[in-house]
Structure 1
Amino acid sequence: MQEFPEGAPCWVDAMFRDVEAAKTFYGDVLGWTFGESSSEYGNYTQAYSDGKAVAAVVPPMPGADAPSQWCLYLASPDAAATAEKVTAHGGEVLMGPMQVGSFGTMLIAKEPSGAVFGVWQPGDHKGFEKMGEPGAYAWAEVFTRDPAAPDTFLPRVFPYGAQQMEPGSDPDAPDMDFKVFSVGGPGNPVLGRMRMDDDFPPEVPPYIQVYFAVPDCDEAVSKTQKHGGKLHFGPMDSPFGRFAAVADPQGAAFAVIDLSTTTGTMPTFT
């Protein structure tokens, strides 16, 4: 079973008012199958790609009226210690740390500019059993209007190094303000940070965008729209793959990326 270094994305899940509709949608768009719901843990239901655990869906807790959204969990050897770092460096702990049976310990937190993320201290449940392949998690980015906030906060909470994309190194987006956080050296990037520009409506709060790999980006977009989901951006070619930002019919935003279809030169990071 894969062990995840501290700060590395290790799991994603989302709450849905209509879990069965979510299972139908992601089953078609991402090819997922689903296990039995665990009534002991709020009907938490794991999703699988080729028989390997890749995500989970769950109904809202009783009385909760939160919008559907994907939550990215970052690995920690000690969730309680990570919670202390979160609050010490200007973030906010929203839930936990909370032990989830023998599976592990979780907390939900918010970085200072407002993007919500999870932390997972593994027990029996280590995290993703498949990554970077069709049907599985591929990448994630913090979208924020205040880049200095997560840029300062994240390396103080997790053992990150950071590389800034050189201005103008992407000819298609010369004004892009993009940073990459790495663990164990710049050769192992684990998380991106993107400055939200005026193209984002002011009512859209800071968030973390989760990318799922697909064999065909355009087909995934077509299936999303067929089920009543929305296309927010793309499809667009890039040196990292052909990708699009979408939302499912219940409003949970995510992105799909075909990692095998790459175009252009990789931007320079310093």
Structure 2
Amino acid sequence: MAVQSEGAPCWADAMFGDVEAAKSFYGDVLGWTFGESSSEYGNYTQAYADGKAVAAVVPPMPGQEGPAQWCLYLASRDAAATAARIREAGGEVVMEPMRVGDYGTMCLARDPSGVVFGVWQAGTHEGFGATAEPGAYCWAEVFTREPGKSDGFFPQVFPYKAKQMDDDGVDFRLFDLGDRTVLGRMAMGDDFPPEVPPYINVYFTVPDCDAAVARATGRGGVLRFGPMDTPFGRFAALSDPQGASFSVIDINTTEGEMPKITDVA
């Protein structure tokens, strides 16, 4: 597997107060299996779909307990240089670049609107072993109440070209790397409770959206939106029993015309 392009989504993990409960939930909903936890790295535990690494779960470090939340990592060839650009663009480096053995170098950051994301400079761990396959990562969107701040920030840090969806009912932007669309940005409206912070929503591929929703809600998850048919697939937004938001999407069940997209100068 080649190292991902600068700015491409390359990994996702989540911190859970009850890791065993998270493993049981996602194992049932997404069909994940799990490797051995690494005590050397804070009991970090990789998740696998059909034997391929697709995500990880980890307990919080002492003193860092907080709400469960998925974190998306964007690829970097030089994490220190990316951290410098984050600051120059008005963002905050929450955790300075840190070497993780031979696996690579990570840092955590926050965009000017408050969206937390990760940066990953690959070593032996290059990122997702599979994407857009059952159980694997498929897509992600930045949800923010201050879209102008996010729109100005991300293309300064990564070599993104922006496009805007032409839809009066929704403020939605897309970020491209070359000819590949890699990330979305959604403006949070009044339908989002004020206590919900800005975040990145990750989508995991499933063969049947409705069946995945039924498994999730049967295990204590909460359906937030959908299921809904779109030109990109049938998807639903959920929260797991520990409060982490995520979405599931069946990319083979599509409906409707592709929306009109306009390049942003």
Flag as ranges the 4+ runs of structure 1 deviating above 3 A.
Answer: none
Shift of 1:268: 1.0
1:3 and 2:3 are equivalent in the alignment: yes
1:177 and 2:171 are equivalent in the alignment: yes
1:25 and 2:25 are equivalent in the alignment: yes
TM-score (norm 1): 0.96
Determine the C-alpha separation between the residues in 1 that align with 2:195 and 2:14.
21
The residue type paired with residue 145 of structure 1 is R
Determine the C-alpha separation between the residues in 1 that align with 2:146 and 2:22.
32
- 1:65 maps to which residue? 65
- 2:197 maps to which residue? 205
Number of equivalenced pairs: 262
The residue type paired with residue 92 of structure 2 is E
The residue type paired with residue 206 of structure 1 is P
Which one of 236, 239, 243 corresponds to residue 231 of structure 2?
A: 239
- 2:53 maps to which residue? 53
Shift of 1:55: 0.2
- 2:181 maps to which residue? 189
Determine the C-alpha separation between the residues in 2 that align with 1:163 and 1:118.
23
The residue type paired with residue 205 of structure 1 is P
SS in 1 for 2:230: coil
Shift of 1:143: 0.6
Shift of 1:96: 1.8
The residue type paired with residue 10 of structure 1 is C
Determine the C-alpha separation between the residues in 1 that align with 2:66 and 2:74.
21
1:248 and 2:226 are equivalent in the alignment: no
Determine the C-alpha separation between the residues in 2 that align with 1:45 and 1:27.
13
- For the Cα contact (< 8 Å) 1:79–1:97, is it kept in 2? yes
Identity level (%):
69
Shift of 1:41: 0.3
- For the Cα contact (< 8 Å) 1:37–1:45, is it kept in 2? yes
SS in 2 for 1:242: strand
1:269 and 2:261 are equivalent in the alignment: yes
- For the Cα contact (< 8 Å) 1:2–1:129, is it kept in 2? no
What 5-or-longer segments of structure 2 have no aligned partner? Answer: none
SS in 2 for 1:231: strand
SS in 2 for 1:65: coil
Determine the C-alpha separation between the residues in 2 that align with 1:166 and 1:7.
24
The residue type paired with residue 141 of structure 1 is E
- 1:170 maps to which residue? none
The structure whose residues are more often strand, as a share, is 2
Shift of 1:198: 1.1
Shift of 1:175: 1.3
The residue type paired with residue 261 of structure 1 is T
Q: Describe the superposition over 1:232-254 as per-residue Cα deviations: whole angstroms up to 9, x where unpaired.
A: 11111111100000011111110
Determine the C-alpha separation between the residues in 1 that align with 2:192 and 2:209.
22
Shift of 1:2: 3.1
- 1:75 maps to which residue? 75
Determine the C-alpha separation between the residues in 2 that align with 1:245 and 1:149.
24
- 1:229 maps to which residue? 221
Determine the C-alpha separation between the residues in 2 that align with 1:258 and 1:2.
26
Shift of 1:202: 1.3
Determine the C-alpha separation between the residues in 1 that align with 2:41 and 2:65.
18
Determine the C-alpha separation between the residues in 1 that align with 2:181 and 2:24.
32
Which one of 242, 252, 256 corresponds to residue 260 of structure 1?
A: 252
The residue type paired with residue 42 of structure 1 is G
- 1:171 maps to which residue? none
Root mean square deviation, CA, Å: 0.7
- For the Cα contact (< 8 Å) 1:107–1:118, is it kept in 2? yes
Determine the C-alpha separation between the residues in 2 that align with 1:248 and 1:175.
28
TM-score (norm 2): 0.97
SS in 1 for 2:71: strand
